[in-house]
Structure 1
Amino acid sequence: MRLRHAMPMLLAVLLLGACHSKDEAAQANGSTPQAALQTSIDLLKAGDFDRLWKHALPPADYANLRADWRLQQRDAQPTSAEDRARLDQSMRKLTGPDAENRLYAELQPKLAAMELQYHDQLPVLISMGEAMLKSAIAQSRTLSDVQKTQLDGALDALLPWAQQTPWFDQARAKQALGVAVATARQLDLKDPDQLHAMDFDASMAKYAVAWGGLKRLLAIYGLSVDDTLDSVRLTPLSSTAGHAMVRADYTLLGQPLSAETALVRENGRWYSEDLLHNARRSHRQLQQQPAPATAASAVAKD
């Protein structure tokens, strides 16, 4: 698991297991399994991703995460001229003068045409998409059987919402464009190289902006991430010899769901066992990968 792919893993672990302005408070709130998970949920809701990682990982693992962040660029593929031009055009559209109204004028006739073409097909297409996701979950080598069952339950709750949501509604589309434009301006991304060049702190700040925009977009279409996170109720199930199990009961789109998370205690604090395992595996894999040959060394070999 690459470190830039660790953010989705962190979110998945928190949602399967289920935010504080002072580092000391976050540390103290890991003193029990329930407190550790609740603090993670609060930090996730706030979009405070730096403190979320600092809370969710032991100090040494958090330090490795920060140090390894730039090492991933060893494997980064160069951006093609075509992709660069496409991103540049998209960002210009989203951040230009009167972008919201210009984009809406461009989108409005397309929405009407898409509604005529896909209105009856969309529920079927969404069902097909869910089936593909469930197949990918079933074939995953990194998810446990319990986690696969829990994710399947969440997908079952999301399917009716996705099928019934008026995706082609023009009023909602205009609101969504407003959020997209505001988020793009706040992200202030000029080119793909800027993304690759960002350090850990800058990346976390951009993730926070994108996360806030995503939550606002979903809320426009009836899915409140904050309501789901606020609904989490944690119940300790067991705690023996430095290992604990906690059940999270929560409501997703009106449907009650539950998930269980295994935690492990290290140096008096509790951490998600799955997240810790994946973070350490990622670090080992990254350290074992040979650095690519530089242009100078390649010439010397020739």
Structure 2
Amino acid sequence: MPRIRSVTAALLLSCLAACQPAPAPVEQPSSPVAAVQQLVDDLRRDDLVGYSHHAVPPALHARLEAAWSEGRTLWPLTELPLDQKFQGFLTTLAEPRSEQALLTAYRRQFAGAQAEIRTAATTLGLFTSQYVANEAAYSDEERDHYRQLIAALARWGQRAPLADADHARQVVPQITLAARSTGLGGPDGLRRAGMTRSLQRLGPFFVRLERALVSYGLDFDAALAGMRITLAQQTGEQARVRLQYTLAGQPIDAYVLLERDEGQWYLSDLLRRARTEAEAGGAEARQQAARAP
């Protein structure tokens, strides 16, 4: 009976990952607040394809999709923490019987070590805050927002049942099954699938990952659902929007900058990084082509 349930779950996840309909034509919001709300709604639905289209202008999206297929970027996954490790992380989870290896490592390093985990969460929070404070690539608004997020996550890590071995035995197999069902494991799985197919397949995986985090007391969907988005300032083609929400019991009060491009509003910091990602490796490729005989 457990085997039948596992096979049934795998088939359902595979269908969700691979059999999704083609995305509907994208309609862009017409105000700064609506643009932010659209991205929040995309994340709440785990609609990564929709998010990718709403986050950047169409021409830039096409360049990013081409850069992905050429192995030069994994945008928008590059917006995630430790994005350079994501393919390896997914591959490790998707390995046959990976749950056994992961649970063995967990029992050796974390099971019952609540005090050590609490200390590690505090130390990691301090280290990450210092990194964000000194990282020149972040805008002042991003730096302030990330500082609040890091503090909330550090407090969550101090009290979450991360050392509960029984809980881990329930959660880990669910995540590894979802990873296998994406079909994106292997050293080059994401590039081979391409941007759109990869993001479609990752949707159900992130749903399962979010549910696992909820069981540990971290509910990102609740944070997004309760987010209050208001216009703080708008001057011509620039705008400043205020975000107020609660994550892991901690209030977050932050601002994001937006700019208008081709009549539509986009997050300035996200747009800046996306443009950089679209050019990643492009300059080197052009130089090599110019030197070729």
Give TM-score scaled by structure 2 length.
Answer: 0.76
Q: Partner residue of 2:132? A: 137
Aligned equivalents of 2:164, 2:220: Cα separation in 1:
21
AA paired with 1:111?
Answer: R
Would you say how many aligned residue pairs link Structure 1 and Structure 2? 254
- How far the C-alpha of 1:293 sits from its partner, in A, is 7.3
Q: Compared with structure 1, are the counterparts of its residues 193 and 64 closer, same or farther at alpha carbon in structure 2 (3 Å cutoff)?
A: closer
Tell me which amino acid in the other structure corresponds to 1:278: R
- The aligned counterpart of 2:158 is 163
234, 237, 243: which is aligned to 1:242? 237
SS at match of 1:246: strand
Contact 2:117/2:162 (CA < 8 Å) preserved in 1? no
SS of the residue corresponding to residue 120 of structure 1 reads: helix
Which residue number in structure 2 is paired with residue 23 of structure 1? 25
Give the whole-Å Cα distance in 1 for the aligned partners of 2:180 and 2:66.
29
Q: What do the CA deviations read for 1:19-41 (whole angstroms, capped 9, x no partner)? A: xx7434x32xx101111110110
1:72 counterpart SS class: coil
Shift of 1:181: 3.2
CA contact (8 A) 1:108 1:170 kept: no
- The structural deviation recorded for 1:284 is 3.2
SS of residue in 2 equivalent to 1:260: strand
Q: 1:183 aligns with which of 164, 178, 185?
A: 178
Match of 1:256 among 238, 251, 254: 251
Query: In the aligned structure 2, how far is the partner of 1:279 from the partner of 1:110?
Result: 36
**How many angstroms apart in 2 are the aligned matches of 1:196 and 1:287?**
16
1:39 corresponds in structure 2 to 38
Q: Which residue of 2 aligns with 1:68?
A: 67
Structure 1 residues 190, 250: CA separation in 2 closer, same or farther (over 3 Å shift)?
Answer: closer
Alpha-carbon distance in structure 2 between the residues aligned to 1:66 and 1:89: 25
Q: Larger radius of gyration, structure 1 or 2?
A: 1
Shift of 1:142: 1.1
Task: Could you tell me which runs of 5 or more consecutive residues in structure 1 were left unpaired when the two chains were aligned.
Answer: 1-20, 75-82, 95-99, 295-299
Secondary structure, counterpart of 2:266 in structure 1: strand
Which whole-Å CA distance do the structure 1 matches of 2:105 and 2:69 have between them?
44
Whether 2:88 is the aligned partner of 1:92: answer no
**1:281-292 equivalent positions in 2, closer than 5 A:** 281-290=276-285
Corresponding residue of 2:4: none
Aligned residues of 2:32 and 2:258 also touching (Cα < 8 A): yes
Secondary structure, in 3 states, of the residue corresponding to 1:143? coil
- In the alignment, the residues of structure 1 paired with residue 114 and residue 261 of structure 2 have an alpha-carbon distance, to the nearest angstrom, of 53
- Alignment deviations for residues 56-90 of structure 1 (CA, whole Å, 9 cap, x no partner): 1111111111122122359xxxxxxxx99xx5896
For residue 114 of structure 1, report the CA deviation from its aligned partner.
4.1
CA contact 2:94–2:177 (8 Å) conserved in 1: no
Q: Would the aligned equivalents of 1:36 and 1:270 in 2 still touch at CA under 8 Å?
A: yes
Assess if the C-alpha contact under 8 Å between 2:243 and 2:253 holds in 1. yes
State the 1:174 CA deviation: 2.4
Distance 1:137 1:289 in 2: 29
Distance 2:260 2:252 in 1: 26
Distance 1:149 1:284, change over 3 A: same
Gapped runs of 5+ residues in structure 2? 1-22, 74-86
TM-score normalized by the length of structure 1: 0.74
Indicate the percent of aligned positions where both proteins have the same amino acid.
Answer: 28
Which residue pairs with 2:142 in the alignment?
A: 147
The Cα offsets for residues 190-212 of structure 1, whole Å up to 9 and x where unpaired, read as: 53233342211222123323322
Letter paired with 1:44 = L
The structural deviation recorded for 1:223 is 0.6
User: Could you tell me which residue of structure 2 aligns to residue 11 of structure 1?
Assistant: none
- Note closer, same or farther for the CA distance 1:241–1:41 as it changes in structure 2 (3 Å cut): same
Counterpart in 1 of 2:15?
Answer: none
Partner of 1:80: none
